[in-house]
Amino acid sequence: MPQNLLILGHPKSGKRLTVKRLPEVQIVDFVEMATTGKWEVPAANGIIALNHVEFGIDDPEFNLRKLQLIEDLVYFQRRRTILLSTVDPLFYLTQGAPDVIVTEKQDSSDAVHLLDRWAAVLTSFRKMTIDDITEDVFKEVVDGLKRRRPDRLFQDFIKHVVRECDHTAQLRKIGGTVLRAHRDKEGLSPEALVQELLDRANPAILHSRECNAAQIRTGGATFGRTG
């Protein structure tokens, strides 16, 4: 990882699971910190990931705690840091200022200084969406199998998987799993592929907040497309 990352994605989109695959990564949850009141991160080597940055984002005191922790990791510990959030923190805080930045007891002018601190520390973060990451991973799997399995039938199978799955982060994960599962086997027919995708999707897609009824339509052998 060349730099710090801010990874944005909907709830249940797989942000944490994606980061968990990185070597030597320590994941800390702001929900747990706020609940226990323990805001210290044990000193360690490797990557630190801070999950649920959006938690308590309307609370000025929580936001100050989060800012101080991120500043400590970036400026003093100099650890590679990943922020996982459902919202862009700087955009949200800017739009909600001063109420989400300073308490009623503080001078509203302090909000400008705190926003400057947020902006400064976040300049070291590359902003990505979870879809950006899954697109890259899915493409690597597809390209690798295209080279490994040049036979026409399997190439057609790959095309069907891409057509059905290259739409959302969850679908790309399932599509990559299906491709890897069949890399040394014969590919599936379009109908069989749709059935396997549906089987693997329960409950990951069918019960996901990202999914709506139009995302899964078996008519015309369509899984992830709306038309």
167: containing domain: 131-215
Tell me, yes or no, whether 151 and 99 share the same domain: no
Is 187's pLDDT higher than 60? yes
Q: Averaged over 14-37, what is the pLDDT?
A: 89
Q: Which of 82, 86, 94 is nearest to 119 (CA)?
A: 94
Whether residue 150 is preceded by a cis peptide bond, meaning omega within 30 degrees of 0, is no
Average pLDDT over the chain, rounded to an integer: 86
The answer to whether 131 and 85 have CB atoms below 8 angstroms apart is no
Give 102: exposed, middle or buried? Use CB within 10 Å, 0-12, 13-18, 19+: buried
What is the number of domains present in the chain?
A: 2
Is 110 domain-assigned? yes
At residue 146 the predicted structure's pLDDT band, cuts being 50, 70 and 90, is: very high
Nearest-angstrom CA–CA distance, 168 and 211: 9
Tell me, yes or no, whether 66 and 156 share the same domain: no
Nearest-angstrom CA–CA distance, 22 and 18: 8
Nearest-angstrom CA–CA distance, 126 and 81: 10
Tell me, yes or no, whether 181 and 92 share the same domain: no
Per-position b or e across 110-139, b if 16+ CB within 10 A of its CB: ebeebbeebeebbeebeeebbbebbeeebe
Give 219: exposed, middle or buried? Use CB within 10 Å, 0-12, 13-18, 19+: exposed
Tell me, yes or no, whether 33 and 77 share the same domain: yes
At residue 203 the predicted structure's pLDDT band, cuts being 50, 70 and 90, is: low
Tell me, yes or no, whether 48 and 119 share the same domain: yes
Among residues 95, 123, 151, the one where a domain terminates is 123
Tell me, yes or no, whether 73 and 114 share the same domain: yes
Going across the sheet that includes 125-129, the strands are 25-29, 47-51, 81-85, 4-8, 125-129
Tell me, yes or no, whether 108 and 58 share the same domain: yes
Nearest-angstrom CA–CA distance, 165 and 9: 18
Lowest mean pLDDT among 36-50, 54-68, 116-130: 36-50
Tell me, yes or no, whether 9 and 118 share the same domain: yes
Q: Within 13 A of 147's CA, how many CA atoms are on the CB side?
A: 5
Tell me, yes or no, whether 11 and 96 share the same domain: yes
Among residues 100, 123, 146, the one where a domain terminates is 123
Nearest-angstrom CA–CA distance, 76 and 97: 27
CATH number at residue 91: 3.40.50.300
At residue 202 the predicted structure's pLDDT band, cuts being 50, 70 and 90, is: low
Tell me, yes or no, whether 8 and 116 share the same domain: yes
- The type of residue at 108 is S
Among residues 92, 123, 154, the one where a domain terminates is 123
Is 83 domain-assigned? yes
Express each pLDDT in 84-109 by its tens digit.
Answer: 999 999 999 999 999 999 998 888 88
Cα angle for residues 107, 52, 47 (degrees, 5° grid): 105
Is 12 domain-assigned? yes
